[in-house]
Chain A
Amino acid sequence: MSKEYIDGATAIARGALAAGCDFFAGYPITPATPILLHMVNELPKVGGVGIEAEDEIGAISMCIGAAMAGARPMTATSGPGISLYSENIGLAIMGEVPLVIVNVMRMGPATGGATTPAQGDIQFVRWGTSGGYPIIALAPSSVAECYTLTMRAFDLAERFRVPVFLLVDKEMNYAMATVDIEDYVDVSVGQRPMVPQHLPEPAVVDGIRVNVVSGRPDPRLRPEETYLPYDFDPIDAPPPTSPFGGPHITRFTTSSHDEHGFLTKDAEKVGRLNEHLRAKILHHRHEMAFGLPDLQESAETLFISFGTTARAMREAIDRARAVGRSVSGLTLHTLWPVPERMILDAVSAHRRIVVAELNHGQYIREIERLVYRHAAQHRRIPPDILGLDRADGELITPEQFLSMI
């Protein structure tokens, strides 16, 4: 069995290239810089372009512009950079831009510890822009998963036209690890819904312009339009688009808009747009729920973790079981939207739930919300939910997990 000895940054860059990424813009920041270096140096080899931008705001703006001209972009930064991305994350949500954002988390707040691992941006990426609209966030917990989940991030970003976060940390990005080459799993990467790339023929029927998407006359079309750039039907479907420079005229806007991409304050249209931005993720949350349940029937305790911390969890589980103790584990690969069914299924028979994360307890809020609500609905006594937190720059150790069984 062939192996490889590499770091997470290389696996992430490879996953991006395998997913068809052809544009990258970023700004140097520890501990995300290795991804910038890989992408700037490697993208030309596949005909793409990687840019070191003037700042983080420029970096994400370039990615968004490139996406609307048909590129498949990625950017990478750390918490301080996400702060600067914030406004443009909102724009990407509003304009429905496929974009992969790698957040190599470091210890905060502020500049915090540049070379210190942390998982402190879990709620930040979910609520990190104004308005509160959903995004998708994935968290690999091994170097091989860095590759696979980067591909998955592109798939989800494209199919749902939304920013997708890949959450790793300094440890995952930098630490060398041995990978069994068979564990690099390729996943199919879809494409954003596209308008047919030809002009409608005929263009007009009975004086009404033909919509190239439906192939039928559409009285809503304006003289220059061949399709409607923000026409979502049903409400949870991302609208088909056409890149700048294609055969169709495309409008993009960051403001509340109608189906043409024109600014509007029409309450009905604005309400429908905002419901669409929510529904296109939340109605499909079960399609993007990824994780690794490792459950034992006799176990009273279930560990839930993700990312680097899940590595210690899995080692602790192996050690516990090696001495005959029962314990279950759930490694979450999807953090947002919350993989509710997977979590509730894993929780079901356990008496104690331990949520481990390198912060002061962020994701535990989601577990508590879910489990307590579910218990109340079914008139059951909920399990105990305990947090295993750490925010001193050190990793949570397997021994800390073992002490919680």
Chain B
Amino acid sequence: MAATAPITIKQDPLSTYKNERPLPFCPGCGHALILNHLDKALTRLQIPPTQTVIVTDIGCVGLSDQYFATNAFHGLHGRSIAYATGIKVANPDLHVIVLMGDGGAGIGGAHLINAARRNIGITVLVFNNFNFGMTGGEHSVTTPHGAITATTRHGNPEYPLDICATVGENGAGFVFRGTSFDRDLPERIAEAIQYEGFALLDIWELCTAYFAPNNNFGRKEMLGLVETMGLDTGLLYYRNVQEYAHYMRQLSKSAKGATPLPLKPIDPEFPNQVQKKFHLVLAGSAGAKVRSAGKLVGYAGVMSGLWATQRDDYPTTVKSGHSISEIILSPDEVRYTGVRKPDALVLISQDGLKKSGRYLASMTEEDVLFTIPEFEHVETRARKVILDPKQAGIRITRTNLALLLTAAALRELNLFPMDAMEAAVRRFQGRFADQNLPVIAASAHLLPELPE
């Protein structure tokens, strides 16, 4: 088979961006008019079809992408703007054009508003024919008050959404209202496509299957509706904005090169006295740095050659209620992270006490309860060590008590040297190290009679 002379796929300039397939819409439907306007706009701009993505929503307009010889994305109802956002952020050089109906503007209202707010550089054409054409002429968010539709037989009791004001007042850079009959629509669409930020054209048109016959609604009535509703047409908002996709890419360019989430390897530097799994529970109040005190114990344990885990429990509000940290220190790998019976419980506050019932009940004479004088009389078989924060010689705050008591407990338990705690603070607490090192030092004063 002899090859004929190669010919290119499309000769520039392109005379149309549509393919050869005839449009499928009902006679008189505004969709065909708008798509021809869009074709003219694209032809004027001569953007390569490979750099153009037509994203369609659902409804009759959702069929539209199939009649263009460009990239196409046909997605779910109401989500076209969100797909377009992802496409644009992934490749900000693309021209992303969303074709959606008034139905899509309703179900996808959250995406509409937020795309406007972000000024993502996509172009949205709303094919606004005041009802759901594909499913049988039900009312939509733009159906005029009093209009007859399949779901408003007695006249629409709701008032229509002003799409242009909604996106315009929320930051959209380019907002236009017009009709499918506007002769200058190709120019306006071309301007919108060339505009950097979020551009929306609310294009009113006739649904000849449902809305037009049900409401004696023709071209003249549609133009009259603009007036009776007191709305303006033409370019309604135009501002210079920062386009979101390019901004995000710029942000990435300036951050590029830094190591993301670098490994923080820990090598054993300190000895330990832990022969078998040791279960330590810290019970205090949320927002009082209980978890961070626990984390320091874990880091110090690992720096002492142990395997550590920490499991936290706290309510969904992070600064009120209880905060429980269950820490396991072990010479071998720890798999199950739960603690049934603590070997030591550090009871820090009333919030902690409320959640400590099962720990206190399970503890035996071999276990130790570390707590403040306030809870001296809690019932438990565990040996009690009462730690009086007043002896610390530092100002006690809501956020240092947990570390103070935990450090004192560790001194008494002697699982690993306190040097390990101090080293953990220096290595892992960054700017808080200066605050926490004196707390660890002060914890020595809570145990005036150290064993031996």
Partners in one complex: yes
**Contact between A206 and B1, CB atoms less than 8 A apart:** yes
Asked whether A280 is an interface residue with its Cβ less than 8 Å from the other chain, the reply is: no
B62 to chain A: closest residue by CB: A255
Chain A residues whose C-beta falls within 8 Å of the C-beta of B76 in the assembled complex: 61, 87-88, 91, 254
Asked whether A132 is an interface residue with its Cβ less than 8 Å from the other chain, the reply is: no
Asked whether B72 is an interface residue with its Cβ less than 8 Å from the other chain, the reply is: yes
**Contact between A70 and B302, CB atoms less than 8 A apart:** no
Chain A residues whose C-beta falls within 8 Å of the C-beta of B55 in the assembled complex: 65
Which of B4, B251, B254, B333 meets A207, CB within 8 Å? B4
Question: Could you tell me the distance between the alpha carbons of A14 and B264 in the complex, rounded to whole angstroms?
Answer: 12
**Contact between B3 and A205, CB atoms less than 8 A apart:** yes
Question: Could you tell me the distance between the alpha carbons of A6 and B295 in the complex, rounded to whole angstroms?
Answer: 10
Chain A residues whose C-beta falls within 8 Å of the C-beta of B452 in the assembled complex: none
Asked whether B139 is an interface residue with its Cβ less than 8 Å from the other chain, the reply is: no
Asked whether A201 is an interface residue with its Cβ less than 8 Å from the other chain, the reply is: yes
Asked whether B308 is an interface residue with its Cβ less than 8 Å from the other chain, the reply is: yes
**Contact between B336 and A395, CB atoms less than 8 A apart:** yes
Given A62-B86, A247-B50, verify A44-B4 contact (CB < 8 Å): no
Question: Could you tell me the distance between the alpha carbons of A311 and B307 in the complex, rounded to whole angstroms?
Answer: 15
List residues of B (310-340) whose CB comes within 8 Å of A's CBs.
310-316, 333-338, 340
B115 to chain A, nearest CB (A): 9
Which of A57, A69, A70, A255 meets B74, CB within 8 Å? A255
**Contact between A248 and B50, CB atoms less than 8 A apart:** yes
Asked whether A245 is an interface residue with its Cβ less than 8 Å from the other chain, the reply is: yes
List residues of B (1-50) whose CB comes within 8 Å of A's CBs.
1-10, 19-20, 49-50
**Contact between A69 and B94, CB atoms less than 8 A apart:** yes
Question: Could you tell me the distance between the alpha carbons of A337 and B249 in the complex, rounded to whole angstroms?
Answer: 37
A314 to chain B: closest residue by CB: B335
Asked whether B267 is an interface residue with its Cβ less than 8 Å from the other chain, the reply is: yes
Chain A residues whose C-beta falls within 8 Å of the C-beta of B259 in the assembled complex: 45
**Contact between B83 and A62, CB atoms less than 8 A apart:** yes
Question: Could you tell me the distance between the alpha carbons of A248 and B69 in the complex, rounded to whole angstroms?
Answer: 11
B272 to chain A, nearest CB (A): 13
Which of A68, A177, A248, A254 meets B87, CB within 8 Å? A68
Chain B residues whose C-beta falls within 8 Å of the C-beta of A223 in the assembled complex: 9-10, 19-20, 69
Asked whether B127 is an interface residue with its Cβ less than 8 Å from the other chain, the reply is: no
Chain B residues whose C-beta falls within 8 Å of the C-beta of A395 in the assembled complex: 336-338
Asked whether B220 is an interface residue with its Cβ less than 8 Å from the other chain, the reply is: no
Which of A17, A176, A245, A252 meets B73, CB within 8 Å? A252
Interface string of B42-67 (1 = CB under 8 A from A): 00000001110101000000010110
A228 to chain B, nearest CB (A): 14
B277 to chain A, nearest CB (A): 10
Chain B residues whose C-beta falls within 8 Å of the C-beta of A399 in the assembled complex: 340
Given A223-B20, A253-B74, verify A202-B3 contact (CB < 8 Å): yes
Interface string of B239-278 (1 = CB under 8 A from A): 0000000001101111111111101111100000000000
Asked whether A398 is an interface residue with its Cβ less than 8 Å from the other chain, the reply is: yes
A247 to chain B: closest residue by CB: B50
Given A46-B256, A176-B310, A397-B340, verify A23-B335 contact (CB < 8 Å): no
Tally chain B residues at the interface, Cβ within 8 Å. Answer: 85
B4 to chain A: closest residue by CB: A206
Interface bin, chain A: 35 or more
**Contact between A397 and B338, CB atoms less than 8 A apart:** yes
List residues of B (337-358) whose CB comes within 8 Å of A's CBs.
337-338, 340
A204 to chain B, nearest CB (A): 5
Given A54-B111, A115-B314, A202-B6, verify A69-B90 contact (CB < 8 Å): yes
**Contact between B266 and A4, CB atoms less than 8 A apart:** yes
Given A49-B248, A178-B308, A395-B336, verify A249-B90 contact (CB < 8 Å): no
Asked whether B131 is an interface residue with its Cβ less than 8 Å from the other chain, the reply is: no
Question: Could you tell me the distance between the alpha carbons of A169 and B313 in the complex, rounded to whole angstroms?
Answer: 14
Question: Could you tell me the distance between the alpha carbons of A57 and B306 in the complex, rounded to whole angstroms?
Answer: 44
Chain A residues whose C-beta falls within 8 Å of the C-beta of B49 in the assembled complex: 224, 249
Given A4-B266, A315-B335, verify A63-B260 contact (CB < 8 Å): no
A220 to chain B, nearest CB (A): 15
**Contact between B265 and A181, CB atoms less than 8 A apart:** yes
A67 to chain B, nearest CB (A): 8
A62 to chain B: closest residue by CB: B86
**Contact between B252 and A65, CB atoms less than 8 A apart:** no
Question: Could you tell me the distance between the alpha carbons of A249 and B249 in the complex, rounded to whole angstroms?
Answer: 24
Asked whether A199 is an interface residue with its Cβ less than 8 Å from the other chain, the reply is: yes
Which of A65, A171, A177, A205 meets B90, CB within 8 Å? A65
Asked whether B84 is an interface residue with its Cβ less than 8 Å from the other chain, the reply is: yes
**Contact between B110 and A115, CB atoms less than 8 A apart:** no
B300 to chain A, nearest CB (A): 10
**Contact between A224 and B9, CB atoms less than 8 A apart:** yes
Question: Could you tell me the distance between the alpha carbons of A91 and B83 in the complex, rounded to whole angstroms?
Answer: 11
**Contact between A311 and B333, CB atoms less than 8 A apart:** no
Given A2-B265, A205-B3, A250-B71, verify A115-B313 contact (CB < 8 Å): yes
Chain B residues whose C-beta falls within 8 Å of the C-beta of A30 in the assembled complex: 316
Chain B residues whose C-beta falls within 8 Å of the C-beta of A63 in the assembled complex: 86
A sample of 20 inter-chain contacts (CB < 8 A) reads: A2-B266, A5-B302, A49-B248, A51-B89, A54-B113, A61-B85, A64-B83, A65-B83, A66-B89, A69-B86, A69-B94, A88-B76, A115-B316, A178-B302, A203-B8, A250-B71, A253-B72, A254-B74, A255-B74, A398-B336
Instruction: Mark A residues whose CB is within 8 Å of B.
Output: 2-6, 10, 13-14, 17, 23, 25, 30, 38, 42-49, 51, 53-55, 57-58, 61-71, 73, 87-88, 91, 114-115, 142, 171, 174-178, 180-181, 199, 201-207, 217, 222-224, 226, 243-255, 261-263, 311-312, 314-315, 318, 394-395, 397-399
Closest 8 pairs between A and B when the two form their complex, measured CB to CB? A65-B86, A61-B82, A202-B6, A62-B86, A44-B255, A69-B90, A224-B69, A65-B83
Q: Given A45-B255, A45-B256, A51-B248, list of 20 further CB < 8 A pairs?
A: A3-B266, A3-B267, A5-B302, A13-B260, A45-B257, A47-B253, A47-B256, A57-B82, A61-B79, A62-B85, A64-B83, A65-B86, A66-B87, A68-B73, A176-B309, A178-B307, A181-B265, A205-B3, A251-B71, A252-B73
